[in-house]
Homo-oligomer: A and B are copies of this chain.
Amino acid sequence: MEGEANVSIFGEIEGPSATREGMGLIKLKVVGMGMGTADPRVVMHEMDSAEIGVERSDRVSVVTEGVPHSAMVCLTSTLAAPGELLISEGLMASMGLSGGEEVTVTFCPRPASVRHIRRSMDRSPLSREEVSTVMRDIMLSRISPTETAAWLTALHINGLSEDEVLHVTEEMVASGITLQFDRGPVFDFHSIGGVPGNKVTPLVVSIAAASGLLIPKTSSRAISSACGTADFVEVFCDVELGAERLKAVAQETGGALAWGGAMNLTPVNGAIIETLYPLGIDPPDLMMASIMSKKMAMGANRLVMDIPCGPGAKVETLSGAKGMAQKFIALGERLGIHVDCALTDGRQPVGWAIGPGPEARECIMALEGHNGLQDVREKAIGLAGMILDMGGANDGPRSAERLVDGGEALAKFQEIVAAQGGRADLSSADIPLGREKAEVVSPRSGYVNSIDNKELVTVARAAGAPRDKGSGIVLEKKTDSRVEEGELLFTIYADNADRAERALGAAERLRPLKVGGLLLERTLRRPGML
């Protein structure tokens, strides 16, 4: 069927066309639908729609006081009487209607976006203006969720050109607000996530701010992970700052540890994520655009990216992580952001603690210089060192280490926490863990051969993470640890007994720490062989 773009299903349907040209208008009386659909939607009688050449699944333009509003139409021979127009609640409100008014209804051609979406399906890259049109139509619900789903599916299958990624990023930025700071450059840090217990962000921000750099960091909450940075920082100070307060905190202290969602920096991303999530797709190019747009909106021009990789992390192979790093760097160049990337070990949790309270406590312990947190400390110092190098340090990692060991990083952390409404003398001992505990022991002697990150997350969520602030997991053993039968593998913390019980059940079913012998597999000579 090559070359037959014009073939129509069911022998009847045509694509977007001008066949409704020359059709008229009709005046109808408004009736509230009592139905709060997401999209603007109207219902009209078939006789009225025939009058103006409107078919099912068309759009109509509804005009009141000279202002047209576009809506998807449903046809009926029962729900609406001839002469009536049922209007969905949101549209009633945005048109300022209460029912009983007369409106003018005409056929409304498909928005240009539908043609652009069709082009994305056919692997034809969109221009800056076309990307902008589609994304504005998504944000303003001028196209339907099914049309949005079709576009995102096409992007998932066909990918985006480099230019398109740039256009999408810029349009995401344009959809919201952009912060400006009195001084520059503005530094930022981002981890693409996927590794439980990755509590390094407050350390990285504190070290960089202690060295005199401006780093107003926003973080996210967990969606399906056990705990986002915002989820555990919230244990000890405010994270829903709003743009003005965030600016004030950053200009006062050099740093900030805010929840990005509170500022609605790039609102179009919300509409996109609502469609992507149920489909279970996540085009990497859109992830890049989304991350970079938030950095743009924060006014950042120096960025260090943490890309954890390894089996079980979001990026499984080193070559995949390198390819991603190069794309981030190239996109950063076009956006005027200097990007450096760190490929980090994502095979098992960072540190021992997972969940809001446990991670908050361990994060502060690492700043306080407690023993046994070597990997947390090393990762934070390595990443902060890269930021310091970007800022012109002679030996960033060395400087970062000195700021931790000399206590300046902890002092800066307490200063930021105080500016965000927390205690100025906050210590790790102030952070309570859940009052309910359950211990998971090894069913056998051997070695921890591997840890399944996703299964650990399941157990932590069953315990109440990220909502119950005391809930989570504290590991006793990690990969390659020797363990005896009956020895403690990890402790579950929860805010109530039910959830502790539930998490224990999940842990016993899943066994996220895989304990085996050093002898992994035996291949035996079968009788008769040789």
Contact = CB atoms under 8 A, between A and B. Distances in A.
A157 B462 CA distance: 40
A433 to B, nearest CB: 19
Contact of A502 (B24, B35, B150): B24
Interface in A424-476: 454, 457-459, 461-462, 467
A15 B278 CA distance: 9
Contact of A278 (B144, B278, B315, B457): B144
Contacts of A15: 280-282
A1 B327 contact: yes
B7 A314 contact: yes
B11 A279 contact: no
Interface in A197-223: 220-223
Contact of A22 (B72, B117, B276, B506): B506
B13 A273 contact: yes
Contacts of A117: 279
Interface string A116-150: 01100110000000000000000000001111111
A362 interface: no
A10 B461 contact: no
A326 B457 CA distance: 53
Contacts of A166: none
A286 interface: yes
A371 interface: no
A94 interface: no
A274 interface: yes
Given A1-B320, A17-B454, A506-B22, A8 B194 contact: yes
Interface string A16-51: 111111111000000000111100000000000010
A15 B264 CA distance: 24
B9 A121 contact: no
A169 B372 CA distance: 63
21 contacts: A2-B323, A8-B314, A9-B290, A10-B282, A11-B190, A11-B291, A12-B228, A14-B224, A14-B225, A19-B224, A19-B454, A19-B457, A21-B462, A22-B502, A22-B505, A23-B461, A53-B462, A55-B223, A147-B149, A150-B279, A150-B281
A144 B38 CA distance: 14
B34 A461 contact: no
Contacts of A503: 22
Contacts of A314: 6-8, 11
A283 interface: yes
Contacts of A498: 24
Interface residues of A, number: 107
B327 A13 contact: no
**By CB atoms of chain B within 10 A, which of A6, A20, A22, A152 has the most?**
A22
B9 A282 contact: yes
A317 interface: yes
Given A15-B280, A19-B457, 13 more contacts: A1-B324, A1-B327, A3-B316, A3-B319, A4-B315, A4-B317, A7-B287, A11-B314, A22-B462, A22-B506, A147-B278, A149-B149, A153-B154
B53 A7 contact: no
Contacts of A17: 224, 454
Contacts of A194: 8, 11
A193 interface: yes
A285 interface: yes
Nearest to A88: B35
Identify the 3 closest CB pairs spanning chains A and B, nearest first: A22-B506, A9-B282, A146-B149
Given A22-B462, A117-B279, A278-B147, A315 B6 contact: yes
Interface in A155-172: 156-158
A399 interface: no
A502 B17 CA distance: 18
A522 interface: no
A158 B191 CA distance: 34
A324 B7 contact: yes
Interface string A43-81: 000000010010111000000000000001000000000
B10 A273 contact: yes
A184 interface: no
A287 to B, nearest CB: 4
A16 to B, nearest CB: 5
Interface string A282-310: 11111100110000000000000000000
